Chain A
Amino acid sequence: MADSTSLLYATLLVPVAWLAIGLLGLVRGRSVLWVGRILFPLGTLAGLTLGFTALAGLGAPTESLTLPLGLAQFAFHIRLDALAWFFLLLIGFTSAGIGVFSAGYFRAGEGTAPGLLCLQYHVFLASMAVVVMADDAYLFLVAWETMALSSYFLVTTQHRLPEIRRAGFIYLLIAHLGAIGILLCFGVMQGGNWQFTFEAMRAAQLTPVWASAAFFLALFGFGAKAGLVPLHVWLPEAHPAAPSPVSALMSGVMLEIAIYGVLRVTFDLLHVQLWWWGLVTLGLGLFTALFGVVFAAVQTDMKRLLAYSSIENIGIIFLGVGLTVIFHAFHMPLLAALALAATLYHCLNHAFSKSLLFLSTGSVLHATRERSLGKLGGLIHRMPWVAWLALVGTLAIAGLPPLNGFVSEWLLLQAFLFTPDLPHSYVNMLLPMGAAALALVAALAAYVMVKFYGVIFLGQPRESSLREAQDCGRLERIGLLWLAAGCVLLGIFPVPLLALLNNVSRGLLGASLGTQLQHWWLLAPIAPERAAYSPAVFLLSTVVLVAAVVLGVRRFYHGRVRKAAPWGCGFPLLTPRMQDTAEGFGQPIRQIFEPFFRMQRALPSPFDTSPHYRVQVEDHFWYALYAPIAGLVRRISSLAGAVQQGRISVYLLYSFLTLVALLAFAL
């Protein structure tokens, strides 16, 4: 069909345009005006094009193409099916918001020169798009590694600080571990015919053992990129280190690309899905979600908090993937389609709302130069734009109706509620507990978001310097508005998008939620009498209720309202430092979930005139898993180093022993 072919070419042009824009950044690398006012908006335009093309492409038939590029035996293959279109849509629309924001955000004198930053940023975007389009292992891995490298350089923008270099190194290390997993996964999936196109992999017939090996290698490889526990350690290090638009791009888009990889391998390239894979994925996802949200609750750095919140969301997404695998393996197509729709929807939600929050922390950071929650507060008066738009993001992430976060979590819970129908006694007994844990995670996520928003934007400024904070510029506002609008639209009109997602699930699972999505205003995934949700009605009734209350209060108390200072509990010397702090707010979680943490407290002595209380909350995984591995590597290398004695007689002995051994062998 000519129409979908032209869509394919339009899509191919976008990464090329991004690369060209990146290279143009080098032309006048020091000029903020050139890079910020011309190139970044152009990149945004390309992103929008990609988004709208993908929106049109979601309904179009699958198209593929062999590019005249690559090595002789490994030509680059491109293929665009509904899954790829969906993730291109995610990349396009999210990067559009982040691009506008970046245009106003990057300034001179912050580490890497603006031109170079522009190159890295656009190469990063282009490589993510190419990962999604790739239809052979070679192009996929080339794009994947380009993505890892360009994002590494973006993370280490302020490379003069040693802790940022360290964060970048950890990120690069884990990224490479993951890449090895993916490489091995492709090696297993070619199934002995040494064809590395995805077409050949789809045709390969693997034994269950090898299929399981491929699946778990993929889970390891893509999980490392997504931040699945215990491969999550790079996230809380890299996100605070990176500039905020980069954090937004990495958290909002790159993590979802890893999910794309898992979906592509599991449902498209592998020809069988075993139900216990789903159980393992679901368990890992659940643990990751709980782990992430509990750690987010005790953070005192706003970007670290968001990084842990990303881990939580990735956990929820993996939960959905696991549920999809289970339903699909037990041949329950409708429920599998429901779980997949919830998973994909959550990817999109997370992309929009997490980018929005990371960008607003960027604005806060620029206005106050402060990342620590303990030194912020009361910014809603100084930065109303950022504060109100960030509120949309926090509500969305917290999963409150009528915003988007609620839709996907509700769909996921609905899918969970059908697990008792599974034809496997243990699984259908165990899984409802997963639903309970998901509810716990959602509630804790709301708690975390109350902390995030309350400490930064509400209350009194904790430092006097915060009174000089300026609201963000016009371009940044547009970026934030775009993303916030996305959150609201996705929340209020879920049905049209879910109808488009049917194409994805038809392609991957051979089933869809087709007939359940007849009314645009009513979301009833299985049957209206079982459960239904209508965000528009919810919004309308909320608005009516609030308006009625406001009118009622005005009517009955009109003229009798007086303004006075709030009651200070009889204590006249209140200072802003007496507000609830981030540490204080997280304290109950620290108590309840104590086994999760590795805490070091330093309590002041009673006679200290300027007492300091210090508590350090760390991750068990670092000490229980990573430190022993690092120690083992060091020991092995020192053992290998012991061979090098520096004494001539020892070297002579080596050659002598080799001679004797070889002679003895010849004997």
Chain B
Amino acid sequence: MPTLAFSSQLINLCAALLLLLSFAMLAQRRVLTLVDLFAMQGGTLFVSIIVVAWSTGQPHLYYSAALTLILKVILLPLILHHLIRRLGAQWESETLLNTPITMLAGLLLVIFAFTLAQPISQLANTVTRGTLGIALAVVMLAFLMMITRRKAVTQVIGFLAMENGLFFAATSATYGMPMVVELGVALDVLVSMVILGIFFFHIREQFDSLDLHNMESLKED
């Protein structure tokens, strides 16, 4: 078993990587690369959970790590790759905000998340307490990505990335949720993926495009 100092260093590293990957996703406009970044985020999450499980000796976290590996690193990216190729949606047409402004907004959000997490982190006494701010920032950055993108696929990736952030928050703050909850969430993600995949095809059939811009005409005027 490694020393606590070492493991907390490792977790902090993972957290930093997660944040970096979130920013990379925020800036990335090629959809396939975005999926790869998402897979990498999942991988980092997997590593961090393993580290937490190892350093604290919580056996159920290993299951959770395995679930993350299977779902977020392998299965979902594969499905997304498959979907994107079939739909021909490799490129994001245009974002609502240009990249520099998005990055600046992201920066502000990170600062906001850290100020928000500070009082909570001081109360916590787990090894991972410094990472709560980062987890919150990951959630918010993913949300920001959903807001600024137009393609349905990217929004789904943003949604999944938010889920990553929440998982990270759960493991870092409380050594993970109970197994039942984690299983339920994992299943939800999988099911929503399937449903959204079906929706993608329907949207494309209807509008010949996955651009959500077309759905604005659904508003009653």
Residues on A with beta carbons closer than 8 Å to the beta carbon of B191: none
| B216 contacts A by Cβ under 8 Å | yes
Contacting chain B: which of A141-149, A172-180, A490-498, A652-660?
A652-660
A193 interface residue per 8 A CB criterion: no
Verify if B150 is at the interface (C-beta below 8 Å from A): yes
Give B203-221 as 1s and 0s: 1 = Cβ < 8 Å from A's Cβ atoms.
0000000001101111100
- B115 CB contacts on chain A under 8 angstroms: 667
Q: Closest CB of chain B to A48's CB: distance in Å?
A: 56
Which of B112, B116, B155 lies in contact with A648, CB distance below 8 A? B155
Q: Are A646 and B216 in contact (CB under 8 A)?
A: yes
Q: Whole-angstrom distance from the CB of A634 to the nearest CB of chain B?
A: 15
Let me know if A647 is at the binding interface, CB within 8 A.
Answer: yes
- Stretch from B32-40, B47-55, B140-148, B166-174 contacting the other chain: B140-148
Check if A646 sits within 8 Å of B147, measured CB to CB. no
CA distance A647 to B140 in the complex (A): 20
A575 interface residue, CB < 8 Å from B?
A: no
Contact with A along B113-152 (1 / 0, CB 8 A): 0011000000000000000000000001001101111100
A649 to B212 CA separation, bound complex (whole angstroms): 9
Interface residues of B in 173-221 (CB under 8 A from A): 212-213, 215-219
Tell me if A645 and B116 are in contact (CB < 8 A): no
In the complex, how many angstroms separate the beta carbon of B119 from the nearest chain A beta carbon? 8
Are the C-beta atoms of A663 and B143 separated by less than 8 Å? no
B96 lies within 8 A of chain A by Cβ: yes
* Complex Cα–Cα for A653 and B105 (A): 13
The residue that B219 contacts in the complex, of A646, A652, A659, A667, with Cβ under 8 A, is A646
Known: A652-B146, A652-B147, A653-B147. A646 touches B212 (CB 8 A): no
Task: Pick the residue among B146, B148, B213, B219 that contacts A644 (CB under 8 A).
Answer: B219
Contacts of A660 in B (CB 8 A): 112, 140
Contact (Cβ within 8 A) A648 B212: yes
**Contact A649:B218 (CB < 8 A) given known A660-B112, A667-B115:** no
Q: SS class of chain B's interface: helix, strand, loop or mixed?
A: helix
Q: In the complex, are the beta carbons of A648 and B96 less than 8 A apart?
A: no
Contact B215 A645 (CB under 8 A): no
Q: How far is the CB of A656 from chain B (nearest CB, A)?
A: 5
- Given the complex, which residues of B lie within 8 Å of A645, measured CB to CB? 216, 219
In angstroms, Cα B102 to Cα A649, docked, is 14
Interface string of A628-667 (1 = CB under 8 A from B): 0000000000000000111111001100100110011011
Q: How far is the CA of A666 from the CA of B117 in the complex (A)?
A: 11
Tell whether, in the assembled complex, residue A649 and residue B143 are in contact, meaning their CB atoms are under 8 Å apart. Answer: no
User: Known contacts A649-B150, A663-B116: does B143 contact A656 (CB below 8 Å)?
Assistant: yes
Question: Majority SS of interface residues in chain A?
Answer: helix
For residue A659, which residues in chain B have a CB less than 8 angstroms away from its CB? 143
* C-alpha spacing A659/B136, complex, angstroms: 12
User: Which chain B residue lies CB-closest to A649?
Assistant: B147
Q: What B residues does A652 contact at CB under 8 A?
A: 143, 146-147
CB within 8 Å: A-B pair count? 39
Cβ of B206 to closest chain A Cβ, rounded Å:
15
- Chain B residues whose CB sits within 8 angstroms of the CB of A667 once the complex forms: 115-116
Which residue from chain A places its CB closest to the CB of B118 in the assembled complex?
A667
CA distance A653 to B144 in the complex (A): 8
**Is the Cβ of A649 less than 8 Å from the Cβ of B219?**
no
Question: Bound complex: CA of A653 vs CA of B218, how far in Å?
Answer: 19
- Residues of chain A within 8 A (CB-CB) of B215 are 646, 648
Give the distance in Å from the alpha carbon of A660 to the alpha carbon of B113 in the complex: 9
| A contact residues around B149 at 8 Å (CB) | 649
- Alpha-carbon separation in the docked complex, A649 to B148 (Å): 7
Whole-angstrom distance between the Cβ of B214 and the nearest chain A Cβ: 11
Complex formed: what's the CA distance from A667 to B217 in Å?
39
Q: Which residues of A contact B146 (CB under 8 A)?
A: 649, 652
B71 CB, min distance to chain A CBs, angstroms: 24
- Residues of B contacting A649 with CB < 8 Å? 96, 146-150, 212
B116, B147, B212, B218: the one contacting A656 at CB < 8 Å is B147
Within the complex, what minimum Cβ distance (angstroms) separates A645 from chain B? 7
Q: Which residues of A contact B116 (CB under 8 A)?
A: 663-664, 666-667
Minimum distance in angstroms from A655 CB to a CB of chain B: 8
Q: Given the known A-B contacts A660-B112, A667-B115, A667-B116, are A647 and B147 also in contact in the complex, defined by CB atoms under 8 Å?
A: no
- Report the separation of the CA atoms of residues A184 and B216 in the bound assembly, to the nearest whole angstrom: 43
A664 and B116 alpha carbons, distance in the complex (Å): 8
Residues of chain A within 8 A of B212, CB atoms compared: 647-649
Partner of B144, one of A646, A647, A648, A656: A656
Supposing A660-B112, A663-B116, A667-B115 touch, asked if A647 and B216 sit within 8 A by C-beta, the answer is yes
Q: How far is the CA of A646 from the CA of B221 in the complex (A)?
A: 10
Chain B residues with CB under 8 Å of A666's CB are: 116
Contact with B along A204-217 (1 / 0, CB 8 A): 00000000000000
Name which residue of chain A comes closest to B97, CB basis: A649
Residue of B whose beta carbon sits closest to that of A647: B216
Residues facing A in B147-169 (CB within 8 A) are: 147-150, 155
Interface string of B69-113 (1 = CB under 8 A from A): 000000000000000000000000000100000000000000010
Distance to closest chain B CB from A397 (angstroms):
52
The smallest C-beta distance from B158 to any residue of chain A, in angstroms, reads: 9
Bound complex: CA A647 to CA B149 (Å):
11
Question: How near does chain B come to A639, taking the closest CB pair, in angstroms?
Answer: 16
Instruction: Chain B residues near A646: list those with CB within 8 A.
Output: 215-219
Please name the residue on chain A nearest to B139 by beta carbon: A659
Report A477 CB to chain B, min CB distance, Å.
57
CB distance from A547 to the nearest CB of B (A): 78
**Chain A residue contacts of B96, Cβ below 8 A:** 649
Residues in chain B near residue A653, CB distance under 8 A: 147
Instruction: Give the nearest-CB partner of A646 in chain B.
Output: B219
Q: How far is the CA of A68 from the CA of B155 in the complex (A)?
A: 64
Nearest residue (CB) in B for A667 is B116
B155: chain A residues at CB < 8 Å are 648
The residue on B at minimum CB distance from A651 is B147
Chain B, residue nearest A657 (CB): B147
A645-B216, A656-B143 known, 4 other contacts, Cβ within 8 Å? A646-B217, A652-B147, A663-B116, A664-B112
Q: Which 10 A-B pairs have the closest CB atoms?
A: A646-B219, A646-B216, A652-B147, A649-B147, A653-B147, A648-B212, A656-B143, A652-B146, A647-B216, A663-B116
B interface, CB within 8 angstroms of A: 96, 112, 115-116, 140, 143-144, 146-150, 155, 212-213, 215-219
Q: Show 25 residue pairs from A and B whose CB-CB distance is below 8 angstroms, ordered by the A residue.
A: A644-B219, A645-B219, A646-B215, A646-B216, A646-B217, A646-B218, A646-B219, A647-B212, A647-B216, A648-B155, A648-B215, A649-B96, A649-B146, A649-B148, A649-B150, A652-B143, A652-B146, A656-B143, A656-B144, A656-B147, A659-B143, A660-B112, A663-B112, A667-B115, A667-B116
